[in-house]
Amino acid sequence: MDQIDARSKMLGVGKVSKVITKLAVPAIIGMLVNAVYNFVDTMFVSWIGTNAMSAAQVGFPVFMILVAFGQLFGIGGSSYTSRLLGESKKEEASKTITVVYITTVISGIVLGICGLVFLNPLVNMFGANSDNLSYTLAYTSILFVGAPFILGNMALNNMLRAEGSAIASMCGLMLGAVLNIILDPIFIFVFDMGVGGAALATIIAQGITTLFLLSYYIRKKSVVRMKLSRFKPSKKIYSEVFKIGLPTLIRQLLASISIGLMNKAATGYSTEAVAAIGIVSKIFMMGFYALLGYTQGFLPVAGYNYGAKKYQRVLDAIKVSNKVSTIYCVIVFAVFTIFARPIVMIFRPEPVVADIAIKGLRIWAISMPVLGYSMVINMLFQAIGKAKEAALLSISRQGIMLIPLLLILPKLFDLNGVLSAQPIADVMTFILTMILGIIVNKELNKLNDGDKKISKAA
């Protein structure tokens, strides 16, 4: 109770800016670990050559599909588990995590088999061509073999966070990233496995991380227990998991389709263009993931105070978060624009790839200043339970807005159309977010004014 009271006091009474920062720092670290891993992984692959780099970019949507299904079970399962723990139903929570994890592993095996059977048409759909096909097949086939580890790892990370073991989850993320960074050059260059070595390094790192996270349950360090005897699937468990997990799955699949369409459009111009987009997306991810981590610190502050009817604190949290995130995004915009060349050259690209990537990074950076506001308002809708608005904004940036642009702009502006699609989608999403943000801000101010009147009357 002391911990619960202390957390409640922090969220409901503590200085808003300090509370958000305190909650955001671990999330930022966790997100940056993922971003750094992706950055370094791409860097090593790019050192092999343009065809290998383009193959990894074509294979990235495959990895995202596997992550999407992992999040379906991980986020859905963690949400239901945390609610059960809140209701003091520890036995039911233990049963749930057992069912969710075993189902996740089985799903990974099924997805892996299906992926290997339909591997050629799948990679062709995501932008493979004659230059990079052999590299792409080598990369994606290993990813599908390791699918049970990718999905299982995602599920375990989320379920440990659900029971409050955030440090264990963060350690798992960091272990996986560090192992991947160490194994990448060994398999790629020492064992001369090329792009297939990068995929194998990923799977081995995921496998070891899975064992590390499972050890928390095996050594009984977790709050809930995972046992085979508790594997009792039920309609109730799956309905609760899918209710929360399906929107995340859909959002991630749309993002995967968007990247596939971007690759396909770039392939129409050259393999170098595909490689360049791969470099740009990984650099951009470094800036975006830190922003995402910060807004995850904002979410519980807004949610708690909205539930407690402390609307002024919600408004204060929005104001502070918009200010901090926008300043950060403007700084990232400046860094990406001014230092585009030296950042891109870390990947040692060929001259043609470098020119496209430098141009692409500067174009993508144009929309960076508006992303802070978009992300804060998106998280706000999630925090206060406005599921429809949150879902709409979540699928807009890399779904509703981006997919049509990728189908239209390349036909009008060639490669510039491919490079411009994402930032234009970001600006369009910002406009939609601003409209919804103005509406919700008015609602919050109205609720706050009502509370002030009640307080004065009392």
Range of the domain at 114: 49-268
Q: Are residues 209 and 234 in the same domain?
A: yes
pLDDT attached to residue 153: 92
- Asked if 419 and 332 sit in the same domain, the reply is yes
Residue 215 confidence class, pLDDT cut points 50, 70, 90: very high
Q: In angstroms, rounded to a whole number, what is the distance separating the alpha carbons of residues 13 and 93?
A: 31
Residue 451's pLDDT band (cuts 50, 70, 90): low
Q: Is residue 375 part of a domain?
A: yes
In a domain, 42, yes or no: no
> What span, in angstroms and rounded, lies between the C-alpha atoms of 153 and 70?
8
User: What is the C-alpha separation between 5 and 150, in angstroms, rounded?
Assistant: 37
Task: Check whether residue 235 and residue 306 sit in a common domain.
Answer: no
Q: Is residue 18 part of a domain?
A: yes
Answer yes or no: are the C-beta atoms of 309 and 451 closer than 8 Å: yes
Q: Which of 1, 183, 161 is nearest to 81 (CA)?
A: 161
DSSP code at position 328: H
| pLDDT tens figures, 327-374 | 999 999 999 999 999 999 999 999 999 999 999 999 999 999 999 999
In a shared domain, residues 213 and 90: yes
Say if residue 6's pLDDT is above 70. Answer: no
Residue 4 reports pLDDT greater than 90: no
Instruction: Tell me what pLDDT residue 458 has.
Output: 52
| Whether 146 and 168 share a structural domain | yes
Say if residue 109 is in the same domain as residue 58: yes
Considering the domain boundaries, does residue 452 fall inside one? Answer: yes
Note the pLDDT tens digit of each residue in 375-414. Answer: 999 989 888 878 788 888 888 988 899 999 999 999 999 9
Q: Do 451 and 332 share a domain, yes or no?
A: yes
Average pLDDT estimate for 290-311: 87
Residue 40 domain-assigned (yes or no): no
Token match 């995004």: residue?
329
Task: Verify that 200 and 56 share a domain, yes or no.
Answer: yes
Using CA atoms, how far apart are residues 10 and 347, in angstroms rounded to an integer?
44
Question: What whole-number distance in Å separates Cα of residue 237 and Cα of residue 242?
Answer: 9
Within this chain, do residues 1 and 101 fall inside the same structural domain, yes or no? no
Domain end (from 268, 299, 315): 268
Which of these three, 268, 298, 317, is where a domain ends?
A: 268
Query: Same domain for 8 and 86?
Result: no
Whole-prediction pTM: 0.86
Q: Encode pLDDT of 99-120 as tens digits.
A: 999 999 999 999 999 999 999 9
**Six-digit token string for 138:** 């080598």
Report if residue 38 sits inside a domain: no
Residues 306-313, mean pLDDT to the nearest whole number: 89
Same domain, 167 and 59: yes
Contact 370, 426 (CB under 8 A): yes
> Which residues, in sequence order, are CB contacts of 267 under 8 Å at separation 6+?
127, 128, 129, 273, 274
* CA–CA separation, 33 and 23 (whole Å): 17
Asked, for residue 41, whether it belongs to a domain, the answer is no
pLDDT of residue 1: 44
Domain boundary among 223, 253, 268: 268
350 and 338 in a single domain? The answer is yes
Contact between 85 and 160 under an 8 Å Cβ cutoff? The reply is no
Q: For the chain, what is the domain count?
A: 2
422/424 Cα distance (integer angstroms) = 5
